[in-house]
Structure 1
Amino acid sequence: MLRQPLSGFSCVLLAVCALMQRSAAQPACDPVTQYVDNTDGCCRMCPPGTSMTSLSTCTEPNCSPCGNNEYQDKYTTEQKCTLQPYCDPNKNFKAAVHTSKKSRTTCLCEEGFHCSSKECITCIPHTSCPPGEGAVSIGDHAHDTVCKECPEGSFSDESSWSGACKQWTVCKTGFYVSQRGTARSDNTCVESGPSPAAYVVPILVIMSLLVAVGVFLCKVKPELFKRVAKCCMKSTHLPIEAEQDPEAPIRIERITPEENEDDDSILTGVPLTDNGNVLVQENGKLEQLSRQESQTECSQVCYNVVSDVQSR
């Protein structure tokens, strides 16, 4: 009896049934920690930080720790660990410190540098903010520095990849701003001088004293007041009368002392001529002093009179 050939549908159905029978025969293995061996059994893998030796069995794997500068970051059947990356200082990387055998060490850029690309093959310097700008976002291993112009009331006077804008200085009490700050410079504070009002009181005191001396002399010694005023004004080079020719010879005069209690020569002890020049006595004679000497003596006369008024 001849068999009829199977139809296409029947062939597909038989293939699916065979696959299902085979799948049902295989155990369910953990894809992370186990693997399927040639006998269709579930075998254990070595954990992270180790590698599998040739002495391993399916159920009892022989795992060896990774060596120095090596790592294994997952369960494995590999017999060797992976080398840690080399962080080249010539490419501005920090010296690597491998602290774990279960993870890959990341090479970090030196301070002031960042990765030139996503792969971080080399490191390049951060952008340096010029004077007048400050860092609003300081650069790190993965990002560059972001600069921005200093706002009103702040400044930056240096080039820096990490320096922010600084606030203008507020002058302390007793100081004032002599020069206003800019985006590149700070306020300039200068110590304040004494107030003009500080001079008012001393000036009023001196003026009051002079007025009091003048009033006293006018009432008590009018003739003496005239001579003292004439002498003092002459000592300050005020034009009272025509000055004598400095080339003229010194005039020698003789005077006879008179009994006059109003005579200023008696009060002050210094004889004067009619022109207010000072006479000095030598060997019974009175001589007229030079202009400079006369002015010095006149100053002494004024001082003696003021002292006499103060003592009274």
Structure 2
Amino acid sequence: MRTVFILCALVTLLYPVSCCDTETEFLKDDKCCKKCGPGKRMLMDDNCEDPRCQDCQNGEYQSGYTRDTKCERQPSCDPNLHFMQQNEPSKTKLSRCQCEPGYYCTQDDDCNTCTKHTVCKPGQRVVKKGSSVSDTVCGACEHGTFSTNDSSDTCRKWTECESGYVQNTPGSSTSDQTCVAGTPIYRVFIGVGVFVIIVAVVVFVFIKKRKSGCYKLPKKTIEVLTQGEIDDVEKAYRPLYQQPQEDIDNSAPVSPTLSNLTDNGNFVAQEDGKPTITPTTESNSFS
């Protein structure tokens, strides 16, 4: 009988505790009193069945039922630090700050700072776009492709030279290759330039020598200038640079033979020719 009384006493004492809902109620004076709901705070708990509650102010929140008289403050999202401004933050849950486009924050630091997304340079492409919580991932363009702008989504292939065209400038990771018809134009310019210089030098030498009265332009040189046979220029001009040679008689004296002796055996002397006659003025004399 005594044991039954003790059990009944324990049930009476424990009943008020077990009847309270731990989420929405709290025990006061052996009574289960109501809490204020999410987004509110308690002003006074003078009425256990109907407490006086007040909404949290802007920038504050209360995520669950509470008997606290203060709400929690929302984090400050400063636009000067590249955070997006919170126009109407929630009063019933925590509103985390978000970075503006082009910036990201990590969840490890509860998004307290914003970091600028990595910019993929020319010669790279975007492998994975950045988000508000992750950075951009870049990758280099493969051989045979290129990109010219920042943060290109793809790398374009080099232009392929069609039949009859040759490569003018090679391609790289930041530029396309270019093609031209036949021989590259810069080689044509070089060939024309060399030919013009050679012609100018030949004409200059000719004019200079002609003014000094040394020679006339040989016919062979004229053919070289018109036909472009550069190898024959030197041959055409080679006799022009040689000095005139005097004819020197290196023959030995003639030995006396029967053909150059007289009948008396004397040496035949060479006739010097007629003597020089000096003209004089005739005078008329009358005796």
Instruction: Give the TM-score of the pair, scaled to structure 2.
Output: 0.51
Q: What residue in structure 2 maps to residue 124 of structure 1?
A: 115
> Does the CA contact (< 8 Å) of 1:116 and 1:124 recur in 2?
no
SS in 2 for 1:118: helix
* 1:75 correspondence with 2:65: yes
Q: What residue in structure 2 maps to residue 186 of structure 1?
A: 176
Q: What residue in structure 1 maps to residue 223 of structure 2?
A: none
| Among candidates 42, 59, 62, match of residue 52 of structure 1 | 42
Q: Provide the C-alpha distance between the structure 2 equivalents of 1:69 and 1:75, rounded to a whole number of angstroms.
A: 18
Residue pairs, 1:283-298, within 5 angstroms: none
* 1:165 correspondence with 2:173: no
> Does the CA contact (< 8 Å) of 2:144 and 2:157 recur in 1?
yes
In structure 2, relative to structure 1, the CA distance for the partners of 1:169 and 1:63 (3 Å cut) is farther
Q: Provide the C-alpha distance between the structure 1 equivalents of 2:156 and 2:145, rounded to a whole number of angstroms.
A: 4
SS in 2 for 1:144: coil
In structure 2, relative to structure 1, the CA distance for the partners of 1:19 and 1:130 (3 Å cut) is farther
Query: RMSD over aligned Cα, in angstroms?
Result: 3.6
Q: Provide the C-alpha distance between the structure 2 equivalents of 1:20 and 1:55, rounded to a whole number of angstroms.
A: 28
Please say which of residues 88-97 and 65-74 is displaced more in the overlay.
88-97
Gaps of 5+ in 1: 1-14, 194-236, 238-312
> Does the CA contact (< 8 Å) of 1:154 and 1:165 recur in 2?
no
Q: Provide the C-alpha distance between the structure 2 equivalents of 1:100 and 1:129, rounded to a whole number of angstroms.
A: 37
Q: How many residues are treated as equivalent by the alignment?
A: 177
Q: What residue in structure 1 maps to residue 28 of structure 2?
A: 37
In structure 2, relative to structure 1, the CA distance for the partners of 1:169 and 1:153 (3 Å cut) is closer
Q: Provide the C-alpha distance between the structure 2 equivalents of 1:76 and 1:144, rounded to a whole number of angstroms.
A: 39
Residue pairs, 1:141-160, within 5 angstroms: 141-152=132-143, 154-160=145-151
Please say which of residues 136-145 and 47-56 is displaced more in the overlay.
47-56
SS in 1 for 2:14: helix
Q: Provide the C-alpha distance between the structure 1 equivalents of 2:164 and 2:14, rounded to a whole number of angstroms.
A: 92
CA displacement 1:115-156 (0-9 Å, x = unmatched): 266122211222222221112111122111111112345422
> Does the CA contact (< 8 Å) of 1:98 and 1:105 recur in 2?
no
Gaps of 5+ in 2: 1-5, 183-225, 227-287
> Does the CA contact (< 8 Å) of 1:52 and 1:63 recur in 2?
yes
In structure 2, relative to structure 1, the CA distance for the partners of 1:100 and 1:180 (3 Å cut) is same
Q: Kindly, what percent of the aligned residue pairs are identical?
A: 38
Q: What residue in structure 2 maps to residue 135 of structure 1?
A: 126
1:86 positional shift: 0.9
Matched letter for residue 156 of structure 2: Q
Q: Provide the C-alpha distance between the structure 2 equivalents of 1:165 and 1:109, rounded to a whole number of angstroms.
A: 26
Residue pairs, 1:232-247, within 5 angstroms: none
SS in 2 for 1:27: helix
1:166 positional shift: 3.3
